[in-house]
């Protein structure tokens, strides 16, 4: 379930979710996924989505997802990916200049996790411990007692994301995705081992301590495009996702931020909170 900041239930289109559930929950679907996520097929899919031939899908996508195009820059799109990475008009997602306010990095559905030894993060249908998500146990330990915020972007969301505070960029790491199935002898069940491709930036932020901002890509065509920055500037675009639902993750240390109560309460009931880029989600300190 998803709720907006006023507590109203937000309806999400189920077509993509039903397809993914079918692919992951049936042996035939998992066999199809094995082909779909192969480098060759992924490359071909990316080429098609960036080609003029893909433009024919744009109008039906806008209609089926009821997208308000008035908030986006007016232009003629060269491909589906050109449309998917469309820019919003100036002023549509303003950031608050207040130093003690934490803002959402993207239009998304937000889930809050307190970080402890038992924390299991669910990101794009894969469960991670923080050390596995970061592939760095030492770094993960620095965030014991802190919080993790998972911003899930659906295909109809705005797919550009921003920095949430000013600061110095310390490091950047890329992690390749993994997908394979195992077919036990005399067993028609295919277990899945899957870790999505992801990139994360460690930032010494001015107001929220040393934070981590991560982008997680889709298994198939989805691609992360991050700009090369030496400093982070609050509200500045950090990068964008090409076609595919994707996720942004913020990891913050203990006592650096207090997340708004509605988000915490929703998450405790397995409800995602609908947030917009630049919307206030918490405040500095405890």
Predicted local confidence at residue 196, as pLDDT? 82
On whether residue 192 sits in a domain, the answer given is yes
107 is an active site residue: yes
What tens digit of pLDDT does each residue of 185-201 get?
Answer: 444 444 555 678 889 99
For residue 139, the model assigns a pLDDT of: 96
> Which residue from 107, 102, 101, 109 is spatially nearest to 87, judged by alpha carbons?
107
Within a domain: 194: yes
**Domain range for residue 157?**
2-8+93-284
Which of 32-36, 84-88, 117-121, 208-212 holds the top average pLDDT?
208-212
Distances (CA, A) of 212 to 60, 121, 153, 205, 206: 37, 15, 18, 10, 13
**Contact partners, residue 90, CB within 8 Å, separation at least 6:** none
Residue 165 annotated as catalytic? no
- The answer to whether position 170 is within a domain reads yes
| pLDDT-above-90 percentage for the chain | 54
Number of H helices, E strands in the chain: 8, 19
pLDDT at residue 25 tops 50: yes
Query: Which of 82, 107, 157, 260 does the annotation list as catalytic?
Result: 107
Assigned domain for 20 exists: no
Q: How far, rounded to the nearest angstrom, does the alpha carbon of residue 174 sit from its chain's CA centroid?
A: 15
**What per-residue confidence (pLDDT) applies to 189?**
46
Higher pLDDT, 240 or 218: 240
129 torsion bin: left (phi>0), alpha (psi -120 to 50), beta (else): beta
In a domain, 69, yes or no: no
167 domain residue, yes or no: yes
Query: What is residue 184's predicted lDDT score, i.e. its pLDDT?
Result: 44
The whole-angstrom separation of Cα 116 and Cα 3 is 26
* Cβ–Cβ < 8 Å for 171, 214: no
pLDDT at 186: 41
Choose between 48 and 278: higher pLDDT: 278
Q: Which of 24, 11, 278, 255 is nearest to 151 (CA)?
A: 278
pLDDT score of 21 more than 80: no
Question: Within a 10 A sphere around the Cβ of 225, how many other Cβ atoms?
Answer: 15
d(CA 41, CA 88): 31
Per-residue confidence (pLDDT) for residue 102, from 0 to 100: 97
Query: Which of 18-22, 140-144, 260-264 is predicted with the least confidence, judged by mean pLDDT?
Result: 18-22
| 60-64, 197-201, 205-209, 251-255: least confident range | 60-64
Residue 228 belongs to some domain of the structure: yes
pTM: 0.88
Taking the C-alpha atoms of residue 136 and residue 210, their distance in angstroms, rounded to an integer, is 16
- Asked whether residue 42 is assigned to any structural domain, the reply reads no
Distance (Å, rounded) from C-alpha 38 to C-alpha 170? 33
Identify the residue with better confidence: 87 or 242: 87
* Active-site hit among 79, 197, 246, 267: 246
Q: How confident is the model at residue 17 (pLDDT cuts 50, 70, 90)?
A: low
Q: What confidence tens digit (pLDDT) does each residue in 170-188 have?
A: 999 998 877 655 544 444 4
**DSSP-derived secondary structure for 193-217:** EEE--EEEEEEEESSS-EEEEEEE-
Q: Return the exposure string of 233-266: e unless at least 16 CB atoms fall within 10 Å of the residue's CB, then b.
A: ebbeebbbbbbbbbbbbbbbbeebbebbebbeeb
| CA gap 153, 241 in Å, rounded | 10
Query: What is the domain count for the chain?
Result: 1
């Amino acid at each position: 379930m998803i709720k907006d900041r006023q507590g109203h239930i937000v309806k999400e289109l189920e077509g993509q979710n039903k397809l993914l559930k079918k692919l992951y929950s049936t042996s035939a679907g998992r066999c199809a996924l094995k082909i779909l996520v192969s480098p060759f097929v992924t490359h071909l899919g990316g080429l098609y989505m960036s080609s003029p031939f893909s433009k024919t899908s744009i109008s039906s996508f806008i209609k089926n997802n009821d997208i308000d195009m008035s908030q986006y820059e007016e232009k003629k799109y060269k491909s589906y990916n050109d449309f998917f990475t469309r820019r919003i008009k100036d002023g549509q997602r303003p950031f608050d200049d207040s130093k003690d306010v934490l803002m959402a990095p993207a239009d998304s559905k937000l889930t809050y996790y307190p970080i402890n030894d038992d924390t299991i993060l669910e990101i794009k249908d894969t469960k991670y411990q923080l050390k596995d998500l970061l592939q760095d146990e030492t770094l993960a330990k620095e965030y014991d007692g802190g919080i993790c915020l998972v911003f899930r972007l659906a295909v109809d969301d705005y797919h550009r994301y921003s920095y949430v505070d000013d600061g110095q960029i310390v490091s950047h790491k890329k992690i390749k995705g993994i997908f394979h199935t195992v077919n036990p002898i005399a067993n028609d069940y295919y277990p899945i081992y899957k870790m999505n491709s992801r990139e994360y930036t460690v930032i010494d932020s001015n107001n929220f301590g040393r934070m981590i901002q991560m982008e997680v890509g889709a298994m198939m065509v989805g691609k992360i495009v991050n700009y090369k920055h030496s400093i982070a500037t609050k509200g500045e675009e950090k990068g964008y996702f090409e076609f595919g639902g994707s996720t942004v993750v913020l990891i913050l240390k203990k006592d650096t931020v207090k997340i708004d109560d509605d988000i915490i309460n929703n998450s405790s009931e397995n409800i995602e909170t609908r947030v917009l880029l630049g919307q206030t989600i918490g405040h500095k300190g405890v």
